[in-house]
Amino acid sequence: MIVHSQHNRLKTAALLGLLTAMILAIGYWFGGSGGLVIAVFFSLAMNGATYFWSDKLALRSMRAQPVSEAQFPALYQMVRELATEAGQPMPRLYVSPTSQPNAFATGRNPQNAAVCVTEGITQILDYRELRGVIGHELSHVYNRDILISSVAAALAGIITSLAYLAFFLPMGSSDDDGPNPASLLLMLILGPLAASVIQLAISRNREYQADASGASLTRDPLALASALRKIHAGTQSLPLPADNRLTSTAHLMIDNPFRGRGMANLFSTHPPMQERVRRLEQMAANSGPVQFQR
């Protein structure tokens, strides 16, 4: 986990730098020094909002509520045990009143982390399977990739917004012809596409990492594999509505909450479930039999 954590910190720093540089360059291109000043404040505001408030926005989008140990004693027990095993603080626990089986973790570091499960996931998974899911979500926090996912989402959103702004409201000065319409159209198409590719690559890679790290933490990769099969069946039979509140949170969830078929799978923030399960089963085969004690 330490290697993944350090690697993701470097990726976070690189993405923040890329985000700022792109916003500054676009601001200067379309607005000169005035546009550059606006872009500086815009990039600082967006980076700050991403860093400090991503957890609150994600929890609010799923209507998640904090729960006590008295309400969910088994959930608290497994989270506490796994956090202690990893030598990390206990995260805040939330439950979303959503019938779809899903879960996600959010927060910029272990000291500010939250783990959320839906009511649906607690109804279809047994103890071992839910423990595997919790291990996966805690690994997202310990690998420090919750922040990088939020930054990737912000990067994609900002580039898309600036592309549309540049196309419809060119900021060139009055004494020149402004940006070439053809270049604006190209940016309108390629800008959001490039941002999406960056986000997808990061999101898919972090899911594989969290699967492996979570299985190592619980020492039970087959339990997570079994849970993923059930969760995927549930998300496909009970897809969430693809509105703006939820699309910004989808990349945090353990499985894509929307029904993705055909071309939609190419733009999913999650890797193919069949491949995730295959890797976990291979991990179990390589590690030998697991002695699980409840």
- Residues taking part in catalysis: 137
Residue positions counted in the chain: 294
Spatial separation of the C-alpha atoms in residues 245 and 166, rounded to whole Å: 25
What whole-number distance in Å separates Cα of residue 124 and Cα of residue 227? 9
Distance between first and last Cα of the chain: 24
H-type helices in the chain, by residue range?
2-61, 73-86, 119-124, 127-142, 145-168, 181-218, 221-237, 244-247, 273-287
- Look at phi and psi of residue 64 and say left if phi exceeds 0, alpha if psi is from -120 to 50, else beta: beta
Structural tokens at position 36: 């550059």
The one-character DSSP state at 110 is G
Task: For 105, list phi and psi in degrees, rounded to 5.
Answer: -120, 150
Q: How many angstroms separate the CA atoms of 146 and 253, rounded?
A: 11
Residue 109 corresponds to which tokens in the numbers above? 């570091």
Instruction: State how far the Cα of 105 lies from the Cα of 91, in Å rounded to an integer.
Output: 9
Please report how many Cα atoms fall inside a 13 Å half-sphere around the Cα of residue 264, on the Cβ side.
Answer: 7
